[in-house]
Each structure stands twice: as C-alpha cells, then as structure tokens.
Amino acid sequence: MKLKLKHVAWSVLVALGAADVNGAHAQSAGDFQVSAGWLHFAPQDSSGAFNVTALGQTVTKQGASASVSDADTFGLTLQYFVTDHIAAEAVLGVAPKFHLNGEGTLAPLGDLGTAREWSPTLLLKYYFMNAQSKLRPYVGAGGSYVWYSDVKLSQQMANGAFLYSPQTGAALTGPTSVHISSSFAPVVNAGVSYNFTKHWSAAFSVSYMWLSARATLTTNSSVGQVTSESKIKLNPIVTFLSVGYTF
C-alpha cells in the first residue's frame, strides 16, 4: 500500500513538473498572439519643392514648405510563431489623424489641412532567448501599404488663398481640392516582450518607416486649372506599447 501511495505521489509530482514546464513556454512554435495598445506616430518630416503649374508654365514657390504633426491611435496586432524564434505579425489600427502645418512662406496660413493615414503592416520578427524566457528582445522587418482618407483642406487652402501673390493678385485663386498619393513603405522594428504567464504579456517596440507622399492640389481659377504639387517625406518613428494574449 505504501509503495502504491509513493508511486501515485511520484506520478503527481511528475505531472505537476510537466505542467510547470509547459506553462513556462510563453511564446513557442504554433502559438497565436493578439495584442492591443497605444501607437504613437512621430514624423521626421521634410517637404520638397512646391511647384505651381498654370497657363502652361511651372513655377517653384521659393520658401514654401510644410510640417506634419505627431499623432496617437489604438493599435492591434496578430502574431503567429512559426518557430520558437521566428514570428509573422500583422499590425493594424485605427487610422491616426495628422495635421499639416504651413512653414516658411506658408507659415501665415497656419493649419493647411488634415488627413487620416491607413498603414497596415506585415513584419517578420526574430525573438532572442528561448521560449521559456520571461524577457525576450526581438527585431523585425517588413513593409506597409499606406493610403489616406478624410483629407480636408483648411479654409485658406480650400479657396486657393495660398496662390495669391503681388504679381498675379487673386487671378490663380479659386475652389481647391487635394489628392495624396498612396505608396509602399519599408519598415524596420525592434522591441522587447515581457511574459507574465503562458498567456499574458506586455511589449514595447519602436519602428521606422521610409514613407513619402505626394500632395496634388487642383484649383479652378478664373484663368483656368492650376495644379500645385509637393512631395513630403514623413519617415515616422512609430512606438507601440501593448498588452498581449497568447493562445
């Protein structure tokens, strides 16, 4: 009887030990992880030449430039661990709203307009340390397809006031619309994940996107259609603070 009890006790201890080892695998091959949290976009922006085409001639407005504000939004990721170290991740979120502000000769206009940026991203990530580690640094790389919605011009931009000059007066001004080009953007990423349990974790990452966009303004003036174009390099640094659940 004592031998049988010892055998049962030993079996229970082995089972508990196995359960503890399995529970320690926070992120291992075959796992899915969903994370949600706060995304912060900090554009490292610079604008190119502001070219105005009217009456068959193109003129560069010297000193005209713009800057893009920071933005915050809700982020969501879905990650699949191909191995204990390699994972594929999709990054989604609510489109953040950016403000475009006049600089140089456009500074007196102040706020030029707003737009929401959609940038779903796919990353391939490599996790350091082993699957049992609570703290796991990682690096990643991938790409994003970026487009814009809810693009709105401020009143001074919408009525073409930015085209007023002492030489032409208000001849080139008029109702103005805008289009912002979509594009693909390479992304690099680095971060760290801390696993509280097999299922729950927290993470912080920093990403950099090589992103540029071309804004095209079309003005219907009294002398015909006027087209204004400028290329803006956004190149945002994106930080993501999140809480994750692993299945």
Please check the confidence at residue 226 and state whether its pLDDT lies above 70: yes
Q: Is residue 97 part of a domain?
A: yes
Please check the confidence at residue 169 and state whether its pLDDT lies above 80: yes
Provide the b/e sequence for 175-185 (b: ≥16 CB within 10 Å): ebebebeeeeb
Confidence of residue 48 (pLDDT cuts 50, 70, 90): confident
Domain holding 190, by residue range, is 29-246
Mean local confidence (pLDDT), 53-64: 91
CATH number for the domain that contains residue 151: 2.40.160.20
From 6-10, 51-55, 101-105, 163-167, the region with the lowest mean pLDDT:
6-10
pLDDT at 15: 38
Highest mean pLDDT pick, 16-20, 159-163, 187-191: 187-191
Q: Is residue 76 part of a domain?
A: yes
| Both structure tokens of 195 | 């696993």
Tell me how many domains the chain contains: 1
Q: Is residue 2 part of a domain?
A: no
Please check the confidence at residue 4 and state whether its pLDDT lies above 70: no
pLDDT in tens, 144-160: 999 999 999 999 899 99
Q: Is 119 exposed, middle or buried (0-12, 13-18, 19+ CB in 10 A)?
A: buried
pLDDT at 1: 43
Q: Is residue 159 part of a domain?
A: yes
pLDDT at 165: 87
Confidence of residue 168 (pLDDT cuts 50, 70, 90): confident
pLDDT in tens, 67-117: 999 999 999 999 999 999 999 999 999 999 999 999 998 999 999 999 999
Mean local confidence (pLDDT), 33-62: 94
Neighbours of 187 (CB within 10 A): 22
Highest mean pLDDT pick, 8-17, 162-171, 195-204: 195-204
DSSP the chain: -HHHHHHHHHHHHHHHHHHHHHHH-SS-TT-EEEEEEEEEEEE--EE---EEEETTEEEE-TTEEEEE--EEEEEEEEEEESSSSEEEEEEEEPPPEEEEEEEETTGGG-EEEEEEEE--EEEEEEE-S-TT-SEEEEEEEEEEEEEEEEEEE-HHHHTTGGG-BTTTBTTT---EEEEE--EEEEEEEEEEEEESSSSEEEEEEEEEE--EEEEEEEEEETTEEEEEEEEEE--EEEEEEEEEEE-
pLDDT at 14: 38
pLDDT at 11: 45
Please check the confidence at residue 18 and state whether its pLDDT lies above 60: no
Number of residues that make up the chain:
247
Which among 49, 63, 47, 51 is positioned nearest to 227, based on CA atoms? 51
Q: 18 or 166, which is more confident?
A: 166
Confidence of residue 25 (pLDDT cuts 50, 70, 90): low
Tell me which residue has tokens 């982020």.
75
Confidence of residue 62 (pLDDT cuts 50, 70, 90): confident
pLDDT at 5: 36
Evaluate whether 164 touches 173 at the Cβ level (below 8 Å). yes
Q: Is residue 17 part of a domain?
A: no
Mean local confidence (pLDDT), 170-190: 96
pLDDT in tens, 110-136: 999 999 999 999 999 999 999 999 999
